[in-house]
A and B are shown apart, each in its own frame.
Chain A
Amino acid sequence: MAIAAHHRPGLIEGHDHIHAEPQGIVAKYIFSLDAKVIGVQYMIAGLLFFVISGMLAEIIRIQLLTPGGAIISADTYNAVYSLHGSGMVWMTIIPLVTGGFGNYVMPLQIGARDVAFPWLNLLAFWMFPIAGVILFSSFLVGAPDAGWTEYPPISLQGPPGTSLWCVAIFLIGISSTLTGINFLVTIFKMRAPGMTYTRMPLFCWAQLATAMLNMVATTALAGALLALFLERQFNVPFYDPGRGGSPLLWQHMFWFYSHPAVYIMILPAFGIVSEIFPTFARKPIFGYKMIAFSSIAIALLGFMVWAHHMFTSGMAPWLQLPFMILTMVIAVPTGIKIFSWMATLWGGKIEFHPAMLFAIGFLITFTFGGITGVFLAAVPTDLHEHGTYFVVAHIHYVLFGGSMFGIFAGLYYWWPKISGRMMNYRLGVVHFWLTFLSFNVTFLPMHWLGLEGMPRRVAEYRPEFQFWNDVASIGSFVLAASTLILFYNMAQSLIRGKKAPGNPWHARTLEWTISSPPPYYNFKTIPAVLKNPYDFGEPLPYFGLDPQEDEEGDGSTFAPAPHAETAERH
């Protein structure tokens, strides 16, 4: 035993000691340094902003029930869709996939006790709800009304809330950057012994690629926002063409961030489904390395394609071709992932758990959105579709059908680990089918509306578009109602849900080898890792796992790896 202790890095004093758990509600739940608690805080705040932004979406859909606009004025309508977009992108999806799932799951999966810089984590989290409150409080002084992209010169003339928008997005941007730095150092330096990069769970690979994007791209947005803020508040000319500035400059700076930002939103969702597919298909993931490296390829390519948002903006024409080709190149690593997931499902013993249903739904809707993305990347078709409902349909297929489906899948998957309780299986299935169907009823018609020429961001439209608009609105009401099922399911699970075992899905990544919910210190001793976690059917590739009560009694769940020395050969 003494020898074993000597060989365990976890037991050497000074390095890997377990901190005492803080006492008191404030230290434990509000200003906690524990990445798990911070992750849950991100999720609660993110879901709250999801509800607010979702209600704004419903106002939009009610407004569009009749061609003349049903309830609000055009000015209010502008503010509503601007804050719907800003709220969903910056206050919902990005914090949920990076701060939420990243903080909770990533340190557990790499076998760490916490992130590298817990204080930085705490600081980054608290910037987020503050930014959210600032963003939505802009309704009180006149909300921004130039869309979530806030193109000048419209945003220069916008109501005072536009400056609040700048401050809010600047804050959330700094928060993202700090989280990105924190995660990069955590993944580079704090992996469990033996966890080489090619033994790392794919969710962590996705978080690694996302953290790189967050660290580099988000500060560019901070620069653009600072300039917009200075121009609005201090009359410093950057974007006003009448004073030598250039509105195109904003578009370049904004999209240099915001195109990578779509990968910030989707890469962690890729990571989530990469965990779910092998677990519920009971098969090793197909093409582990290809999925891992394609995340990095997407992140790198993501920096070289921003101007495809600007084909109709009067950008230099010779730039169109390279940006079109580079954009289409991104379909290659994305396609590698899609086909790898399909090959993982092929011949698998699939269990249609709600998490798996959402992952499969993700595969379908995201692929659909990816294909319409290629339409938009091609300059000739983009000239026709730009600024129409086709773009609205595309972005909702990749952000709702992609990122949000990934978030739902991740919630069903990790809920027992986080809460220690099981969710109702049947309600989850109902939630999926209602969401999946109503999602398509809502957003599929928008493709046709767009191709027929209905412009986006209008409070009124021509009467011939009414039928499909009404279909979309009805779909969106069902979509909102179906989300209530999820919230009900979460609530009833917390109140009277069955207690969750440590590993309810017989998954193989490290977070499932400890109890649900995990103890404050995560791992008593840091396990050593011998292989990547996806070889279903073989014993777990870990050495030195904490002893667990084997709640399911099948003995295989926490079986230690047979031979430490086999690792040498890999």
Chain B
Amino acid sequence: MAVSSLNSSHEAVAARYESVDEVYRYTRDMRLLGFVLFLVSDVVLFSAFIFAYLYLRNSVPNWPPITKSGQQLPRFDVAFAAINSCALFGSGATMHFAMESWKHLNRSAFNLWMIATIVLGIAFLCGQGYEYQHVAISWSGSTMGATFFTLTGMHGFHVFIGIIYLITLFIQANSGVYTGSKYFGLTAGTLYWHFVDVIWVALFYLFYLM
């Protein structure tokens, strides 16, 4: 319930706060807005580095760039990254199902989907660690490496924080912090996880397909 939608009559306003649930919805909306704004500012941080990547990429005639010794750097391995991405995208779906199960008061399904999400998230991070070890370029060797490792590293850090976040939510949900009608923490966690997913869509296109 947004105060911005109020008409000028204060009586009408007062009437909206008559139940405790209304009050909960009001503070929830506030936290939700704050969380969404935080995600927007986070998008800007990624955008800054994506801009840097596109700028550096377009300022040289060839991409992947040619090193001083005259060799062109190899492209990234699309196949492995695509399989690994499936883990993250799949975790977005399982997170959605977890949320839906919670809304339908199906706790055992919720637990199952949450565990699946966390496992898939960890699998994605492991896959990324494997890729880091086997990729032919280094962080400080070229602008390609600099942008790739910085952007995917930032994203991986977000996934790592997200996994800790989801584990916390899982524990909280099972110790009675949330109820069938009051579960803002879960909503925020879902939003965050989808945000991490969407960022990866952009990064996957920019580094592997473009």
A: residues with CB less than 8 A from B are 6-9, 12, 14-16, 116-117, 120, 177, 180-182, 184-185, 188-191, 193-194, 196-197, 215-220, 222-224, 226-227, 230-231, 234-238, 243-246, 249, 252-253, 256, 528, 530, 543-544, 564, 567-568, 570
9 contacting pairs across A/B (C-beta < 8 A)? A7-B14, A9-B10, A9-B13, A12-B17, A194-B6, A220-B45, A230-B146, A236-B140, A567-B8
With contacts A15-B23, A194-B10, A216-B44 known, is A249 near B3, CB below 8 A? no
Determine the distance from Cα of A567 to Cα of B11 in the docked complex, in whole angstroms.
12
Complex contact B33–A222 (CB within 8 A): no
Contact yes or no, A219 B4, CB < 8 A: no
Shortest Cβ distance from B26 into A: residue: A15
Cα distance, A528 to B12, chains bound together (Å): 11
Bound-state Cα–Cα, A7 to B17, Å = 10
Residue of B42, B51, B60 contacting most chain A CB atoms (<10 Å): B51
Question: Contact between B8 and A245 (Cβ–Cβ < 8 Å)?
Answer: no
Q: Which 5 A-B pairs have the closest CB atoms?
A: A223-B48, A528-B10, A193-B13, A15-B23, A219-B44
A8 to B18 Cα, complex, angstroms: 10
Beta-carbon contacts under 8 Å, B114-159 to A: 139-140, 142-143, 145-147, 149-150
Quote the shortest CB–CB distance from A121 to chain B (angstroms): 12
Does chain A have a CB within 8 A of B59? Answer: yes
In Å, the complex CA distance between A16 and B22 comes to 12
State in angstroms the CA–CA spacing of A93 and B187 once bound together: 37
B41 touches A215 (CB 8 A): yes
Residue of B nearest to A231 (CB): B146
Query: A215 and B40 in contact (CB under 8 A), knowing A227-B52, A230-B150?
Result: yes
- Distance of A7 Cα from B16 Cα, bound (Å): 10
- Complex CA distance for A1 and B2, rounded to whole angstroms: 28
- Contact present for A249 and B14 (CB under 8 Å): no
Contact among B7, B37, B145, B149 for A184, CB-based, below 8 A: B37
Contact residues on B (Cβ < 8 Å of other chain), bracket: 35 or more
Give Cα distance in the complex from A223 to B99, angstroms.
33
Task: Give the complex CA separation of A163 and B23 in angstroms.
Answer: 47
CB of A12 within 8 A of CB of B52, answer no
Contact of A237 among B29, B37, B143 (CB under 8 A): B143
**B:16-32 near A, CB below 8 Å:** 16-18, 20, 22-23, 26, 29-30
Residue among A6, A226, A236, A256 making CB contact with B139, cutoff 8 Å: A236
In the bound complex, CA of A194 to CA of B14 (Å): 11
B41's contact among A177, A189, A543, A544, by CB below 8 Å, is which? Answer: A177
Q: Is the CB of A197 within 8 A of B4?
A: yes
**Neighbouring A residues of B3 by C-beta, 8 Å:** 188-191, 193
User: Could you tell me the distance between the alpha carbons of A257 and B41 in the complex, rounded to whole angstroms?
Assistant: 13
Given pairs A219-B42, A244-B143, A245-B143, 20 additional interface contacts (CB within 8 A): A9-B16, A12-B23, A188-B2, A188-B4, A188-B33, A189-B2, A189-B30, A191-B3, A196-B4, A215-B40, A216-B41, A220-B48, A223-B44, A226-B150, A237-B140, A238-B143, A249-B56, A252-B55, A253-B51, A568-B8
A194 to B40, CA, bound (A): 29
Q: Which of A188, A193, A246 contacts B59 (CB under 8 A)?
A: A246
Residues of B within 8 A of A235 (CB): 140
Instruction: Please determine whether B4 and A194 come into contact, CB atoms closer than 8 angstroms.
Output: no
A14 and B20 form a contact (CB under 8 A):
yes
Q: Which of B10, B38, B56, B147 has the most CB of A within 10 A?
A: B10
The complex places the Cα of A161 from the Cα of B56 at a distance, in Å, of: 27
A226 to chain B, nearest CB (A): 8
Give the total number of A-B pairs whose CB atoms are below 8 A apart.
152
Given contacts A197-B4, A244-B60, contact A181 B45 (CB under 8 A): no
Q: Is the CB of A234 within 8 A of B140?
A: yes
- Chain A contacts for B37, CB-based, 8 A: 181, 184-185, 215
CA–CA, A117 to B20, complex, Å?
Answer: 20
> Is A220's CB under 8 angstroms from B47's CB?
yes
Q: How far is the CA of A226 from the CA of B157 in the complex (A)?
A: 14
Asked whether, in the complex, the Cβ of B34 is within 8 Å of the Cβ of A182, the reply is yes
Pick from B29, B56, B65: contact of A189, CB below 8 A: B29
Q: A185-B34, A215-B37, A237-B146 are in contact. Are A220 and B10 (CB under 8 A)?
A: no
Asked if B8 contacts A570 (CB within 8 A), the reply is yes
CB contacts (< 8 Å) of A244 on chain B: these are 56, 60, 65, 142-143
B8: A residues at CB distance < 8 A: 194, 196, 530, 567-568, 570
**Chain A residues with Cβ under 8 A from B52's Cβ?**
223, 227, 238, 249, 253
**Residues of chain B contacted by A249 (CB below 8 angstroms):** 52, 55-56
Given contacts A7-B10, A219-B42, contact A181 B34 (CB under 8 A): yes
Interfacial chain B residues near A182, Cβ < 8 Å: 34
Residue B9 at the A interface, CB < 8 A? yes
CB neighbours of B160 from chain A (8 A)? none
Residue of A14, A224, A231, A567 most packed against chain B (CB within 10 A):
A14
B76 at the interface (CB under 8 A from A): no
A567 in complex: contacting residue of B9, B14, B26, B60, CB < 8 Å? B9
A191 to chain B: which residues have CB within 8 Å? Answer: 3-4
Q: Which residues of B contact A567 (CB under 8 A)?
A: 8-9
Q: Given the complex of chains A and B, what is the CA–CA distance between A238 and B60 in angstroms?
A: 13
Cα(A16)–Cα(B143), bound, Å: 54
User: Is B49 located at the chain interface by the 8 A CB criterion?
Assistant: yes
Residues of chain A lying within 8 A (CB to CB) of residue B139? 234, 236
Complex contacts, B10 vs chain A, CB 8 Å: 7, 9, 193-194, 528, 543-544, 564
Chain A residues with CB under 8 A of B14? 6-9, 12, 193
Most chain-A CB neighbours within 10 Å: which of B13, B44, B47, B140? B44
Known pairs A185-B30, A249-B55, A530-B8; A236 contacts B45 (CB<8 A): no
Give the most central of B8, B11, B26, B150: most A CB within 10 Å.
B8
CA distance in complex: A189, B13 (Å): 13
How close is A544's CB to chain B, nearest CB, in angstroms?
Answer: 8
A196 vs B47: C-alpha distance in the bound complex, in angstroms? 34
For B38, the chain A residues whose CB sits under 8 A away are: 181
The answer to whether B56 and A238 have CB atoms under 8 Å apart is yes
Contact of A185 with B33 in the complex, beta carbons under 8 Å = yes
Distance in Å from the Cβ of A311 to the closest Cβ of chain B? 18
CA distance A219 to B49 in the complex (A): 11
Are A246 and B142 in contact (CB-based, < 8 A)? no
Residues in B neighbouring A177, C-beta threshold 8 A: 41
Nearest CB on A from B144, distance (A): 8
Say whether, besides A15-B17, A15-B23, A237-B143, A252 and B51 are in contact (CB < 8 Å): yes
Closest Cβ neighbor of A174 among chain B residues: B41
- B51 and A227 contacting across the interface, CB-CB below 8 Å: no
